Amino acid sequence: MKIDILSLFPDMFEGFIKTSIIKRAIASEVVDIKIHDFREFAQNKHLKVDDYPYGGGQGMVLMCQPLLDCLKSIVTPESLVVLMSPQGRTLNQSYSTELTKEKHLILICGHYEGFDERIRDYVDVELSIGDYVLTGGELASMVVTDSVVRLLDGAITEESHLDDSFSNGLLEYPQYTRPFEYDGNQVPDVLMSGHHENIRRWRLKQSLIKTLNKRPDLLEGRVWSDEELKIMQEIKEKD
Ligand code: ADE
């Protein structure tokens, strides 16, 4: 996959692309990430990228020309052009998984200000990472990139994201590592048993309990398996 990010603050991405899984995914050519400073496309003397809003009002508005010239220099018929904005659809795990099917993502970040509305004519999707306003789209574009890249084949150990929270519509089951006992708290016996079927069932039950307690909204409209229905019955009988 190719990801191009348009931003006025390319330095913000330095640590992000040079660390951990993203760094490795770039090194192993799972993904190619490029950051473009669209100020370089400004045609005015002072390299201005924003201007006062027509009709008056607070703040500045990003102009069409520098941003769209930058976009036009990289967009192809295969690109999905994404505008990072709190007005967009909200990112979730299922949409991140959908985005992994794209060959080329272009993520556009604004900063401080709004976009000239006409920029939206060149955008396929407007995407938010939650109902709050950030100072710019940079952090949001990193969130999107991170959540998508880790799902790409070869980015992390095959199958290790199959147990992620949300991937099966449930929160992830509790995990433990050494030592066996910490502050008098022991690892559940079943995990020490080596009995794979019992461990699988215990994990499913714990996932259901966690989801029921922390995010019951995720269970609304769920298509239940027979096994899950049986476990839910057990959970209810215990209460
Ligand atoms: N830019 C500012 N706030 C944002 C948000 N919540 N999501 C995406 N982009 C943004």
Residues 7 and 89 in one domain: yes
pLDDT exceeds cutoff 90 at 163: no
**Is the model's pLDDT at 159 over the cut of 80?**
no
Residue 85: C-alpha distances to residues 40, 140, 148 (Å): 22, 8, 18
pLDDT at 239: 80
- CA 144 to CA 96: how far, in whole Å? 7
CA of 63 to the centre of ligand 1 (A): 18
164 is catalytic: yes
Ranges of H-type helices in 3-99: 14-17, 20-27, 64-74, 93-99
Q: Is the pLDDT of residue 113 over 90?
A: no
Q: What is the pLDDT of residue 226?
A: 98
Count other Cβ atoms within 10 Å, centred on residue 126: 17
Burial class (CB within 10 angstroms; exposed 0-12, middle 13-18, buried 19+) of 104: middle
Kindly state whether residues 129 and 176 are assigned to the same domain. no
Quick one: pLDDT band at residue 158, thresholds 50, 70, 90?
low
- In a shared domain, residues 66 and 125: yes
* End position of a domain, from candidates 124, 157, 190: 157
Percent over 70 (pLDDT), the chain: 100
Whether residues 204 and 101 fall in one domain: no
What is the percentage of the chain residues whose pLDDT exceeds 90? Answer: 92
Is residue 153 located within the same domain as residue 167? Answer: no
**221 lies in the same domain as 150:** no
Mutate to test the pocket of ligand 1, among 9, 12, 109, 133 (most ligand atoms within 8 A of CB): 133
107 and 191, same domain (yes or no): no
Residues 185-209 have a mean pLDDT of 98
Whole-structure pTM value:
0.94
Asked about 113 being catalytic, the answer comes back as yes
pLDDT tens per residue, range 173-195: 999 999 999 999 999 999 999 99
Q: Tell me: do 11 and 49 sit in the same domain.
A: yes
Given 37, 69, 113, 228, which residue is catalytic?
113
State the CB neighbour count (10 A cutoff) for residue 35.
21
CB 67 within 8 A of CB 121: no
Are both 170 and 153 inside the same structural domain?
no
Residue among 10, 53, 86, 174 flagged as catalytic: 86
CA angle 187, 188, 189 (to 5 degrees): 110
Residue 45 in contact with residue 70, Cβ under 8 Å?
no
Catalytic-labelled residue, pool 164, 174, 201, 203: 164
pLDDT for res 166: 85
The CATH number assigned to the domain holding 191 equals: 1.10.1270.20
Q: What is the spatial distance between Cα 26 and Cα 150, in angstroms, rounded to a whole number?
A: 11
Report pLDDT digits (tens) over 53-104: 999 999 999 999 999 999 999 999 999 999 999 999 999 999 999 999 999 9
Question: Which structural domain range is residue 177 located in?
Answer: 163-238
Question: What residue owns the CA closest to ligand 1's atom 2?
Answer: 134
Across the chain, mean pLDDT equals 96
CA dist 109 and 16 (Å) reads 15
Residue 29 is among the residues annotated as catalytic for this protein: no
Using the atom order of ligand 1, give the atom closest to the CA of residue 130.
Answer: 6
The pLDDT confidence band at residue 16, using thresholds 50, 70 and 90, is: very high
Does 132 lie in the same domain as 146?
yes
Q: Verify that 148 and 69 share a domain, yes or no.
A: yes
